Chains A and B, each alone.
Chain A
């Protein structure tokens, strides 16, 4: 079956530090990959996505590259801000299942200190 594994948190960084959150996946077929962000008290928002191998998704300074050879989709940002404090979820969606539902990792909490 499909699964997503992401690094445990919390990750605590100082403002302007470099961020990496690791994500690896197992899937049949060719999934689409996503990073969702959840700010305190809110629902999930799509941060970025990639739909095929070697695609790079980017948004708000965050980037992730779809690496089929390593089955990875690591999230990076060059300089984090306090406002980036949130929980980040890596997820996949596989077309080969009729439900086309998202399979999520367990989430990584990021805390950015001033």
Chain B
């Protein structure tokens, strides 16, 4: 049971570099999400997707991009990394039925921008 898998677990970037955080789920979930968690704060929604080919902005989308070419994968792209993007990033997914209230989370990616 893999669930939601995120890679890498840790990464250090220099200011201005770019990278892609990978997220894959094997539960055939329609909904997928990217959150960031800053110290002492709750999770903030960056982007979300309600199905393959459909993505939309969350609360804090600036500096990020996403794509959803398949049901399984939902990569998050950081262009021109900035220190303000130092955070822990979580990917999550959930099913599309009304009773699918639970979201399943990956283990997180700890990103430091220096």
Residues of A within 8 A of B (CB): 4, 32, 34, 36, 42-46, 49, 51, 89, 91, 93, 95, 98-102, 104-107
Do B48 and A43 have beta carbons less than 8 Å apart?
no
Does A99 contact B98, Cβ atoms closer than 8 Å?
A: no
Question: Does A101 contact B102, Cβ atoms closer than 8 Å?
Answer: no
- By beta carbon, the residue of chain A nearest B108 is A43
User: Which listed residue (A46, A98, A106) contacts B41, Cβ 8 A?
Assistant: A106
Give 1 or 0 for each of B52-88: 1 = CB within 8 Å of chain A CB. 0000101000000000000000000000000000000
Which size class do B's interface residues fall under? Answer: 20 to 34
A32 to B94, CA, bound (A): 14
A93 close to B101 (CB less than 8 A): yes
Interface centre among A44, A89, A95, by most chain B C-beta atoms within 10 angstroms, is: A44
List chain A residues, Cβ under 8 A from B113.
none
- Would B94 and A89 count as touching, CB distance under 8 A? no
B residues engaging A (CB < 8 A)? 31, 33, 35, 40-43, 45, 48, 50, 56, 58, 90, 92, 94, 98, 101-103, 105-108
A85–B40 Cα distance when bound, in Å, is: 16
Are B105 and A104 within 8 A (Cβ)? no
Contact A99 to B90, CB < 8 A, known contacts A42-B107, A43-B106 = no
* Closest residue on chain A to residue B57 by CB atoms: A99
Residue of B nearest to A49 (CB): B101
- If A43-B107, A49-B101, A101-B48 touch, whether A107 touches B41 (CB-CB below 8 Å) is yes
Given A43-B108, A45-B105, A98-B50, do A104 and B90 touch, yes or no (CB 8 Å)? no
Rounded to whole Å, the gap between the CB of A58 and the closest CB of chain B is 15
